[in-house]
Amino acid sequence: MDDGNPLDDYRSQALSLDRADSLRAFRQRFYVPPGTIYLDGNSLGLLSRDAESALSRAIRSWKELEIRGWLEADPPWFYLAETLGGQCAEIVGAAPEEVVMSGTTTVNIHALVHTFYNPQGRRTKILADELDFPSDIYALKSIIRLRGLDPSEHLILVPSRDGRTLDEEDIAAHIDDSVALVFLPSVLYRNGQLLDMEYLTRKAHERAIPIGFDCSHSVGAIPHEFTRWKVDFALWCSYKYLNGGPGATAFLYINRVHFGREPALAGWFGSVKEKQFDMSLEFKPARSAGGWQISSPSILSAAPLLGSLAMLREAGLAAVREKSLRLTGLFQDMTDELLSSAPYGFSIATPRPPERRGGHVALVHPEAVRISAALRDRGVILDFRPPDIIRVAPAALYNTFTELWELVRHLREIVERREYERFPGERGAIS
């Protein structure tokens, strides 16, 4: 250590963490925009060369094989949803036939919640939480309305005590005999809290209530054990930590104990594969997660995942999680030591214990919207979430410890020079 200047000490620490990083080589396989520090992988993961060449191969097979690509492309388009589902199953702790690539996150919420929500007798309510992602709540309310029920009565949103976090005990206390279904996020999109899915599943099952999770903010960042936890269903997007590209086709998981069920939103791609082209008017759903597909899979929106999922499996989720926790841990320490006192005034809204954190850290500051604009102006890409949160999402496969140190340096300068005052106090259409 040098003369004890904490900023310099952290720089040395970040450099040596980078040198010792076993995942260091993966960064070279991504298109990291030159001159920028990209910390927005929880909104849109970066393009990798692996994903790009998988997409190029799909375009070439369309060009060369036209309709024959459904069976002759490598891998065949007709089975691509199941193929990718099987690969993704490996990183969520499920059997291959329990996961399929299909639709988009919100469409999958409709497909699965409609299947598992069976209001009967006193059990009529869906349990969610007040910190949930808005689209999830819109979907739940519309599903309740479609059943002829009133969301103001039948959707229970577990309140947060501090406006930022949820207490699993509070959620458990709301799981009573009026609840027909529990549907929760794995990681809260704003503050990055990771909920204890195993505990919540146990609590729901103690009362024989099905439970599902939206894992958009956790798959690809943390290991999941759906089979061991006995989760009934789950769904997640692929454009965040899975680096599948903007609007990439999503995934869903159905616990095998539910394979006999009738998918609520039927469509021909959910058919038993061998029967689909019989063109029968009797729908025969596949006895697998594949039964919950609706339409032809979007091959070009799925192809990049062949590259990016292979890369994630090569890296190993345990190593990804370990590095991710080191990255976010370092950033929390630097915030405490270098950004919390006057004049900086930053704090952290994400719970500190590793088992309660997802892949990003929520940095709190009253000037968050203007500071995130000033960061962008300096080439640091991350996002703002109202009212006062800057989300810092270091991705284990392509971010470095030194980039987080650079972020801290930028934040200090932006505040010291009151640079943020040059930026408007409103966010853009997308932030």
Ligand X SMILES: *Cc1c(COP(=O)(O)O)cnc(C)c1O
- Let me know: does 361 contact 331? Beta carbons within 8 Å: yes
Active site residue 391: yes
Q: Which CB sits closer to ligand X, 87 or 106?
A: 106
Active site residue 141: no
Which of 110, 90, 108, 106 minimizes the C-alpha distance to 98?
A: 90
Shortest reach from residue 371's CB to ligand X, in Å: 23
- Let me know: does 293 contact 370? Beta carbons within 8 Å: no
Q: Phi and psi (nearest 5°) for 345? A: 70, 25
- Let me know: does 133 contact 43? Beta carbons within 8 Å: no
Q: Which CB sits closer to ligand X, 360 or 370?
A: 360
**Active-site entry in 21, 50, 214, 383:** 214
* Lookup: tokens for 41: 């992988």
**Active-site entry in 239, 241, 251, 420:** 239
Active site residue 251: no
Shortest reach from residue 133's CB to ligand X, in Å: 3
**Active-site entry in 11, 27, 240, 323:** 240
Q: Which CB sits closer to ligand X, 242 or 254?
A: 242
**CB count, 10 Å around CB of 195?**
22
Active site residue 133: yes
Shortest reach from residue 132's CB to ligand X, in Å: 7
Shortest reach from residue 106's CB to ligand X, in Å: 3
**Active-site entry in 27, 164, 370, 391:** 391
- Let me know: does 358 contact 221? Beta carbons within 8 Å: yes
Q: Which CB sits closer to ligand X, 78 or 133?
A: 133
Contacting residues toward ligand X, per CB under 6 A: 104-106, 133, 135-136, 185, 189, 214, 216-217, 237
**Active-site entry in 10, 133, 251, 331:** 133
**Alpha-carbon distance 317 to 224, whole Å?**
9
**Alpha-carbon distance 332 to 350, whole Å?**
9
**Alpha-carbon distance 282 to 313, whole Å?**
39
Q: Which CB sits closer to ligand X, 94 or 109?
A: 109
Active site residue 214: yes
**Alpha-carbon distance 189 to 217, whole Å?**
6
* Amino acid at residue number 265: L
**Active-site residue set:** 133, 214, 239-240, 391
